[in-house]
Amino acid sequence: MPLHREFGPYSRPQLHPGLLPDPRSQKHPVPGQDPSFQQLQPVKTQQEAGGRVTYRSDGVIGKGSFGVVYKARESSTGWVVAIKAVRQRPGAPSTEEAVLRILRGCCPSIVTLLNSFTSGTGDGHMLCMIMEYVQDTLSRIIKHHRQRAESMQLHYVRVYMYQILRALANLDRHQIVHRDLKPANLLVDPASHGLKVCDFGTAKCADDAMDNAVYACSRYYRAPELILSTPQYGATVDLWAAGCILAEMLLGQPLFPGRDGVHQLSQIIEILGMPTVAEFHAMNPLYDAAACCKVMIEAVPWEKVFPRRDASEAFDLLGQLLTYSPRQRRHPWTCMTGGFFAALFSAEQMQRHDVALFELTEDELSSVSDQAVRERLVGFFSSAAFVKLSACKKA
């Protein structure tokens, strides 16, 4: 379906047309030109069961202030992995490694840490985390559709969004806040359309109030309470980011493309309207909202923001996630029971994917405190279409 070029009375999306270069894209260094590339060519690590394993780098697939991510192969088997190498003081603990070990095996929608090792000494000391390799990212998929002036099929919006919410539900189950949820940190297998949340470099424990850095999350996906420098926040900042990602999949470009914090907040207000005094207080009790609330700005209806006809099916979910008051944002389990996802469990749609992408474990279901929500989730997996497909996959 082509992207609409006419937006009617509300024309803000034309300020960042889809065919402009993606501001989040960057050129990765060429292996032969990257001085840090040789660090993993080859490297060795100790297997948990004993013996030595050698990995040989196939090139750099990501680079930033955090360090370098390599695509590598286990020399004896050719097994492809991703190795994230980050600088670390010798003996200092790694929050990212600790978080990944806690989350290992809890959910297929979270990237798996396979092993880790250290290399180098002094200033060159590196922590290398070996993780499963996934070929693509949601950011590149969105960019591909934008460059072709095509809308992403609503079915795949559902598939990816369901897995994002599943991952967030499991993060909440383990009391972890990601704090940098964005399309570039969502890995996608182009064959199965399985999605995995990655990059836990800025993650924190939900109850750690001492680690509430306000400059968290990439700007386009930063919750308004972070922009207002709230002294306390939790997992709801990830829910806001998830709403921004849903909007970006529907629109083909970021919904709130702010240049800085002030402009970012103005972009949000332009669409959601001016927050009330109560909403300002919910975002940051210390913020003086009296002056701001004198200016009345009405919210723009979702149908004017998203001109594609089938986007209306996602409006309820957008409203549950993109709301000013953090406590009003719905829990991921509740969002997953909404009508937007009901179509995933039809016989026609289920046969397009592996049931493992959607089938919740007993541990996941037991963590759902709301009885009505749990029954609704169980009802999805008790549908005739799901039971039939599960039987066929196991046969």
Give the residue numbers marked as catalytic: 180
Burial label, 391 (beta-carbon count in 10 A; 0-12, 13-18, 19+) = exposed
What does the alpha-carbon distance between residue 119 and residue 332 come to, in Å, rounded to a whole number? Answer: 39
CB count, 10 Å around CB of 15?
8
Give the phi and the psi of residue 390 in degrees, each rounded to 5: -60, -40
- For helices 154-173 and 236-251, angle between their N-to-C axes, nearest 10 degrees: 170
- Those residues with Cβ within 8 angstroms of residue 139's Cβ, 6 or more apart along the chain or in another chain: 22, 24, 25, 182, 183, 184, 186
End-to-end CA, the chain: 37
Using alpha carbons only, what angle is made at residue 100 by residues 95 and 102, rounded to the nearest 5 degrees?
95
Ramachandran region, residue 273 (left: φ > 0; alpha: ψ -120 to 50; beta: rest):
left
Rounded CA-CA distance 190/64 in Å is: 24
